[in-house]
Amino acid sequence: MDDIDAMFSHLLGEMDYLSQSLVHAADAPDVDPAQQRQSTFSVGFADLNESLHELEDQDLDALVADLGSKSNNNACGGTDHQMATSAKTQECEAAAAPLKPANTAEFSAALQMYEQQTKADKIKLALEKLKEAKVRKLIVKVLMGDGSSRTIMVDERQTVREVLEKLFEKTHCDGNIDWSLCETNPELQIERGFEDHEYLVEPLSAWTRHSENKIYFVSRPQKYVMFRDPQLFYMWKKKKACLSGINEQAKQLLVKEHFGGSALIVPDLEGTLYLKEDGKKVWKPRYFVLRASGIYYVPKGKTKCSSDLVCFTRFEKVSIYSTNSYRQKYRAPTDFCFLLKHPCIQKESHYIKFLCCDDEHTLLLWVNSIRIAKYGTVLYQNYQAAVKRASTWQTVHKANSHVEDDPHEPPPSFIPPPPPGQSHI
């Protein structure tokens, strides 16, 4: 304690001496470098309380050592404790000196890495914006069966299922699996229901500039009939009375057998259809056979053996369309017709295949069996996603119906009729 008191007494005396030196140095024209260092150092300690406060925050040992090197012989005398403290401070400074370049190098490396990362992030953002700018987008007017319409923006990355979800929100209708987007072509008097996995922008981009085609948001009961009544397609040769007696468990087994395996099983559908001749309003009967790769027919005088079958059309690049009033337009044997064409064909062409059935049930079999053969297990995946969505909606609807004093009225049932002049297939 005596050494510390002596040290503080000496320090305060030295501070007073330095303060007086600063006053005398103000009048001198030339300032000695040593005196300049003393003056600079003593400015922060003009007040005693302030000096004590600063000494508590700074390294007291280093300050004492620095003052001792600039003071007179009395200060150089010091105590053994002061000498040991000064030597210890110098050792610390010597040990810390080599670390400065290393810290500087690490900081420079970190700064350089940060700049590189920032540049990479900017490049990534610019590429994403360029990619977004190249995405095709369309403003689509969707017509409802009640005469109203909804306008939505669709880009080329959105599937029909995603667009349906938008329309569910806009119309507040239920999430029934039968809801569909349908394309109508007044010139050819045809319509087609888009599959849920299709990208909507692609077929719409094929429309001509002055096209009168329209998009409808409608409920199509036959959209997934092949999964709700699979016996109609895989047991079609049996009598209708036998088919109506099949229970739900047997239906599920049929679906699992034909769609749940490693390979899809296409209905072995065959029968007589009427084929329209190119450029003529003449329809001739032919015996057609459905296969996974396409539709085949039996030439005159040949049998139904695979070696005798002739390919009528393949499914890779064609879509199936239902028709309206073809008995009047093309003198078809019945009004139960369908056609196969590429989506880009918007006008009458010899590349369009016109077929006519005897009755509505036969039309139902052929149209949906062709869909099974063309889309395969993807169609079943669409069905499962639609069922899941409908189940979620029903759960939410039931939960909301139990909430007391709900200020929101439940949305009205929105089930628009089919497009004018169109039939559900």
Query: Which residues contact residue 308 at a Cβ distance below 8 angstroms, ignoring those fewer than 6 apart?
Result: 298, 299, 302
Domain boundary among 219, 245, 264: 219
Q: Are residues 128 and 37 in the same domain?
A: yes
Could you tell me if residue 86 is inside a domain?
A: yes
Q: Which residue has the higher pLDDT, 78 or 345?
A: 345
Q: Are residues 182 and 267 in the same domain?
A: no
Q: With 0.85 as the threshold, say if the pTM is over it.
A: no
Could you tell me if residue 406 is inside a domain?
A: no
Could you tell me if residue 385 is inside a domain?
A: no
Locate tokens 């010899």: which residue? 350
Nearest to 284 by CA among 272, 296, 295: 272
- C-beta pairs of 76-83 under 8 Å, 24+ apart in sequence: 79/3, 79/6, 79/7, 81/3, 82/3, 82/7
Could you tell me if residue 390 is inside a domain?
A: no
Which amino acid does the sequence have at 1?
Answer: M
What confidence tens digit (pLDDT) does each residue in 137-193 have? 899 999 998 889 999 999 999 999 999 999 998 888 888 899 999 999 999 999 999
Residue 306 pLDDT level (bands cut at 50, 70, 90): confident
Q: Are residues 102 and 124 in the same domain?
A: yes
* pLDDT score, position 284: 95
Q: Are residues 47 and 138 in the same domain?
A: yes
Could you tell me if residue 11 is inside a domain?
A: no
Look over the chain and give the mean of its residue pLDDT values, rounded to a whole number. 77
Distances 11 to 7, 74, 82, 271 between C-alpha atoms, Å: 6, 11, 12, 117
Between β-strands 310-314 and 190-193, what pairing exists: parallel, antiparallel or unpaired?
A: unpaired
Q: Are residues 290 and 172 in the same domain?
A: no
Return the sign of the alpha-carbon dihedral for residues 338, 340, 345, 347.
Answer: negative
Q: Are residues 142 and 252 in the same domain?
A: no
* pLDDT score, position 192: 95
Category of 279 on φ-ψ map: left (φ > 0), alpha (ψ -120 to 50) or beta = left
What confidence tens digit (pLDDT) does each residue in 244-289 have? 778 888 899 999 989 887 788 899 999 999 999 988 889 999 999 9
Q: Are residues 322 and 350 in the same domain?
A: yes
Q: Are residues 144 and 76 in the same domain?
A: yes
Most confident listed range (43-52, 131-140, 165-174): 165-174
Contact 405, 225 (CB under 8 A): no
Domain boundary among 196, 219, 242: 219
pLDDT, mean of residues 347-374: 94
What confidence tens digit (pLDDT) does each residue in 375-411 have? 989 999 999 999 998 888 777 766 766 554 444 444 4
Q: Are residues 237 and 199 in the same domain?
A: no
Q: Are residues 209 and 305 in the same domain?
A: no
CA-angle at 323, arms to 320 and 326, nearest 5°: 135
pLDDT at 37 over 80: no
pLDDT at 416 over 90: no
CATH number at residue 127: 3.10.20.90
Could you tell me if residue 398 is inside a domain?
A: no
- Stated as kind and residue range, the H or E segment containing 346 is none
Q: Are residues 60 and 209 in the same domain?
A: yes
Could you tell me if residue 418 is inside a domain?
A: no
* pLDDT score, position 79: 44
Distances 360 to 203, 335, 338 between C-alpha atoms, Å: 27, 9, 11
Q: Which domain holds residue 305?
A: 225-379
Q: Are residues 258 and 342 in the same domain?
A: yes
Distances 224 to 78, 302, 359, 370 between C-alpha atoms, Å: 101, 36, 20, 13
Query: Angle between the 60-70 and 2-25 helix axes, to the nearest 10 degrees?
Result: 60
* pLDDT score, position 99: 41
Total of domains in the chain: 2
Percent of the chain scored above 70 by pLDDT? 68
